[in-house]
Structure 1
Amino acid sequence: MTWDLGEWTDDTAMAIPILDELAAGNDVRTPESQGRIVRRWVEWHEGAKDVGIQTRAVLSRVKGQAAQRYGDIYKTPDAELAKISRDAAALVHHSRGHSGGNGSLMRTSPIAIGYLNDTQALVEAARAVSELTHLEEDAGDGCVIWCLAIRHAVVTGQLDVRIGLTALDPERRALWAGRIDHAETVRPSEIENNGWVVAALQASVSAIKRGQGLQDTLEEAVRAGYDTDTVAAITGQLSGAQWGASAVPAEWARALHGWPGVTGKYLVDKAEKLVP
Structure 2
Amino acid sequence: MAPPTQSFVSGSVNKAQQKVLLGKFEACLLCGAIGDAWGSSFENEVGVVNDTTTYYVGGKPAKARKWAITDDTQLTLATCEVLAAGPFDPARLGQQFVAYFRQGQLTGLGASTLKAIHDTEAGIHWTQTGRRGQFAAGNGAAMRIAPFAFYDATTSQHLSDACRITHQNDDAYAGALAVYLAVRAALHQTWTGYNNLLLLLLPDLPDTNLTDRLRELSCLPPDATIAEVAQLGNNGYVVNSVPFALFCASKIRQLGLANLLLQVIATGGDTDTNASIAGQISGALLGLAGIPTELFLKLKQLPEYPWMRKIIDKTLLAGF
- Matched to 1:205, the amino acid is L
Contact kept in structure 1, 2:149 and 2:184, CA below 8 Å = yes
1:272 maps to 2:316: yes
Moved more, 123-132 or 163-172: 163-172
The 1:263–1:123 alpha-carbon spacing in structure 2 relative to 1, beyond 3 Å, is same
Match of 2:77 in 1: 16
- Matched to 1:197, the amino acid is V
Separation of aligned partners in 1, 2:259 and 2:314: 26
Aligned length: 248
- TM-superposed CA distance for 1:172, in Å, is 7.5
State the structure with more CA Rg.
2
Match of 2:232 in 1: 191
Match of 2:171 in 1: 138
- Find the partner of 1:127 among 157, 160, 163: 160
Moved more, 30-39 or 255-264: 255-264
Contact kept in structure 2, 1:17 and 1:40, CA below 8 Å = no
Separation of aligned partners in 1, 2:263 and 2:315: 25
Separation of aligned partners in 1, 2:240 and 2:260: 17
Match of 1:238 in 2: 281
Normalization by structure 2: what TM-score? 0.66
Separation of aligned partners in 1, 2:303 and 2:168: 26
Separation of aligned partners in 2, 1:31 and 1:234: 22
Match of 1:93 in 2: 132
Separation of aligned partners in 2, 1:207 and 1:174: 16
Normalization by structure 1: what TM-score? 0.75
Q: C-alpha offsets along residues 24-63 of structure 1, whole Å, 9 cap, x if unaligned?
A: 3x122x345334434335435x564421122223323332
SS in structure 2 of the partner of residue 106 of structure 1: helix
Separation of aligned partners in 2, 1:103 and 1:183: 27
Separation of aligned partners in 2, 1:199 and 1:163: 19
- Find the partner of 2:262 among 189, 211, 219: 219
Contact kept in structure 2, 1:104 and 1:133, CA below 8 Å = yes
Separation of aligned partners in 2, 1:177 and 1:193: 13
Contact kept in structure 2, 1:112 and 1:122, CA below 8 Å = no
The 1:183–1:154 alpha-carbon spacing in structure 2 relative to 1, beyond 3 Å, is same
Separation of aligned partners in 2, 1:147 and 1:181: 18
The 1:88–1:194 alpha-carbon spacing in structure 2 relative to 1, beyond 3 Å, is same
Match of 1:59 in 2: 117
Match of 2:9 in 1: none
Uncovered stretches (5+) of structure 2, i.e. residues with no partner: 1-39, 42-63
Match of 1:78 in 2: none
Contact kept in structure 1, 2:90 and 2:165, CA below 8 Å = no
1:104 maps to 2:141: yes
Give the root-mean-square deviation of aligned CA atoms. 3.2
1:163 maps to 2:200: yes
Separation of aligned partners in 2, 1:150 and 1:31: 21
Contact kept in structure 2, 1:122 and 1:147, CA below 8 Å = no
Q: C-alpha offsets along residues 189-246 of structure 1, whole Å, 9 cap, x if unaligned?
A: 3132521112111221332244412222222221221210110001111111111122
- TM-superposed CA distance for 1:5, in Å, is 4.4
- Matched to 2:144, the amino acid is R
- TM-superposed CA distance for 1:162, in Å, is 3.9
Contact kept in structure 2, 1:165 and 1:176, CA below 8 Å = no
Higher relative contact order, chain-length normalized (CA < 8 Å, sep 6+):
2
Q: Which structure carries more helix by proportion? A: 1
Uncovered stretches (5+) of structure 1, i.e. residues with no partner: 67-80
